[in-house]
A and B are shown apart, each in its own frame.
Chain A
Amino acid sequence: MSDADKKRLLREMIFYRRFEDRTFEAYMERKIGGFLHLYSGQEAVGTGVLEMAIVGKGQENDYVITGYRDHVHAIKTGAPAREVMAELYGKENGSSKGRGGSMHIFDASQNFMGGYALVGQPFPLAAGLALGCKHKGTKQIAICFLGDGANNQGTFHETMNMASVWNLPVLFVCENNGYAIGTHIDRSTAQRDQYKRVDTAYNMKSSQHDGMDIDNVMPAAKAAIDYVRNEQKPYFIEFMTYRFRGHSMSDAKGYRTKEEEAEWEKRDPITISSKKLIDAGVITPAVIKAWEKEIDDEIENDIIKFAEEGPEPKVEDLHKYVLDDNPDPRWIGPLQK
């Protein structure tokens, strides 16, 4: 990978961190409602995996789907950051026209097929996206990002089985941050290593990797994606990571120790990449400072502005999008008497 690309990826991760930080502020100002789950700490996983996938190319993209912690996956897949922010503000110019909110970012134009709140529900949806790709013979694949906790759902087992029996081109990315809200994995899950839950059980290739250093994420992700695309078979890849903030907004984090947090913060993906690039003489700390300023300006002057100034959805449009708004009367009716 070129130095330019390495710099770009570091800058992207800094952008994601600051974007999430700014949503936190907006939440405190009550500009954003509902639940808000931030991705801070896990940036190397989403950024690194999607860097290896086909993203940002509209309808040619691979299909990407995830849970409620979805802002960064959406943006990296190609959703404009300002539309994601406007969605959090519940505005008509948001990704989902203000109907979905933080947990339900969608951008069909980039094959970003959504954030879902039901833990484990994206597993089968992802396999279905892969079935669609396989059926059409497009060589696209489906990529499903979910947490460690999701693997205790029935949909995990049912879907791993079917994805394997039917040879579906789907990559399951497990972002193992060690917790499902406040329950540590050791207290909920008999097998701590998630990748071991699919290999013999569902005859699926799988592996586990560090998820804090994007330089570890990318080669592992590339091998997995190549396998899925070329072999037309599923793969389960697990990344060990940590979320720096609470599960959602109201989380006192009483279930974990300050020492544990400090240990993981030493492995902050942004610190790791920054240090490597500075040590290699590719950038200087001043470059990072300048980026931070540019990013904050962009967030304030473009992204937040777009969200603030966007119109609210019209109450008259409450019933739009429930069903097809322009149905064909031949199929729908009414019945001719």
Chain B
Amino acid sequence: MAETAYWEAIRRAHDEEMARDPMVIAMGEDIGVAGGTYKATSGLYDKYGETRIIDCPISENSYTGIGIGASMTGMRPIIEIMSINFALLALDTIVNAAAKIRYMSGGQIACPIVMRTPGGTAHQLAAQHSARLARMFMSTSGLRVVTPRGPLDAYGMLKSAIRSNDPVIIIEHEQMYNIKEEIPDEEFFRPLEGAEVVLEGSDITLIGYNYSVHLCLQAAERLAKDGISAEVVDLRSLKPIDRETIRKSVEKTHKVLVAEEDEAPVGVGSEIITGIMEDCFFALDSQPVRIHAADVPVPYNAKLEKAAIPNADDVYQGALKVMGKI
């Protein structure tokens, strides 16, 4: 076991998979000579050369398309998009091509690409660098969407994503790249499907994904001091969603809160709560609560930004509301 930062875990997964399989390549802006905006490919250019660590011009839609085309010949490209905001430029090739080619071809052609991108708010990056957008990808048939919350999943899910025959979108987070965790020295895999109970509890279920899992864990600590036992569920995969794990938890606690960093409309929270209504409505003894961002473009001003983006206190207060304590 070694303490590993999130970015180091991603780098290690790249390195091992590229060493194993010559069909694995990485593509993206500044990932090679410059080592990657978040260092996720640092040192790999020297090791694998420019034909396998490919520095791309600022042409998100087409280099993603090139990765998809290469994947149709059996290659396994890992495409880094510097920020999920820029992935909007690549929606045509991701949503209209990668997600649909297997289906349109009657199962003849797979597009085993991995697209990694940080999707979250950092500090004062303002409206055009703070998009989250998970909801846009999770609503697309033909994609897998996963959100590793820490180094263990960042490593293990990237390894699985590279080997899976489906297009996988991995949504990372600017504020998680330096999170550290002990991870095994031996190779391991973490599956792309399945939510995980990361903290067991009996009074309320707090559901998060990506960075909001950490907000839920912080809120759970405070709730514990108030004598409330919170269970924290990390969705891990937004497409498909593991409704079974959610149902089991809600049937145990009878209360639920969903924390998302994105705005509420047509979002992760609405999807999860609808699923709960369909699967275990009668298990609930109080109204569910969603914690989410304000429905505004993310402001630059630090005070306004703080007001717009949910934090652990918001999750804590929301949980008290579900519990009927406020």
Contact = CB atoms under 8 A, between A and B. Distances in A.
Contact of A324 (B23, B74, B110): B110
Interface stretch (B64-72, B173-181, B269-277, B313-321): B64-72
Interface in B177-203: 189-197
B73 A133 contact: yes
A136 to B, nearest CB: 7
Nearest to A128: B69
A225 B62 CA distance: 23
A100 B71 CA distance: 20
B61, B106, B189, B197: which has the most chain A beta carbons within 10 Å?
B106
Given A162-B63, A321-B103, A329 B191 contact: yes
Nearest to B22: A135
B105 A100 contact: yes
Contacts, number: 187
Nearest to A98: B106
Contacts of A23: none
Given A131-B70, A158-B61, A121 B160 contact: no
A135 B65 contact: no
Interface stretch (B40-48, B162-170, B280-288): B162-170
A106 to B, nearest CB: 4
B198 to A, nearest CB: 11
Band of interface residues on B? 35 or more
Interface stretch (A108-116, A251-259, A276-284): A108-116
A333 B193 contact: yes
- Chain A CB within 10 Å, residue with most, of B70, B110, B161, B236: B70
- Give chain A's interface residue range (CB within 8 Å of chain B): 35 or more
A302 to B, nearest CB: 21
A330 interface: yes
A159 B66 contact: yes
Contacts of A166: 54
B107 A325 contact: yes
A132 B106 contact: no
Interface in A96-141: 96-100, 104, 106-109, 113-114, 116, 118, 121, 123-133, 135-136
B63 A323 contact: no
Nearest to A326: B165
Nearest to A97: B106
Contacts of A335: 190-191, 193-196, 236, 242
Interface string B63-105: 1111111111111000000000000000011001100011111
Nearest to B72: A113
B191 A121 contact: no
Contact of B97 (A94, A125, A324): A125
Interface string A204-234: 0000000000000000000000000000000
Given A63-B73, A323-B166, A124 B68 contact: yes
Interface in B240-295: 242
A322 B75 contact: no
A331 B189 contact: yes
A28 B27 CA distance: 47
A127 B62 CA distance: 9
Interface in A52-66: 63, 65
A322 B65 contact: no
B132 interface: no
Contacts of B160: 330-332
Q: Does more than half of chain A's interface fall in helix, strand or loop, or is it mixed?
A: mixed
B104 A96 contact: yes
Nearest to B27: A131
Contact of B105 (A104, A132, A322): A104
A155 interface: yes
A320 interface: yes
A158 B92 CA distance: 14
Contacts of A113: 69, 72, 109
Nearest to B74: A132
Interface in B196-246: 196-197, 236, 242
A158 B102 contact: no
A158 B59 CA distance: 6
B73 A129 contact: yes
A133 B57 CA distance: 21
A198 to B, nearest CB: 14
B149 interface: no
Contacts of A327: 164-166
A322 B69 contact: no
Nearest to A334: B194
Contact of B62 (A65, A158, A325, A337): A158
B56 interface: yes
Contact of A132 (B75, B97, B141): B75
B162 to A, nearest CB: 9
Interface string A78-106: 00000000000000001111111000101
Closest 8 CB pairs of A and B: A128-B69, A124-B65, A132-B73, A333-B191, A335-B194, A97-B106, A158-B62, A158-B59
Given A118-B97, A331-B160, 4 more contacts: A125-B97, A131-B69, A155-B62, A331-B191
Interface of A: 63, 65, 94-100, 104, 106-109, 113-114, 116, 118, 121, 123-133, 135-136, 142, 154-155, 158-159, 161-162, 165-166, 320-325, 327-335, 337
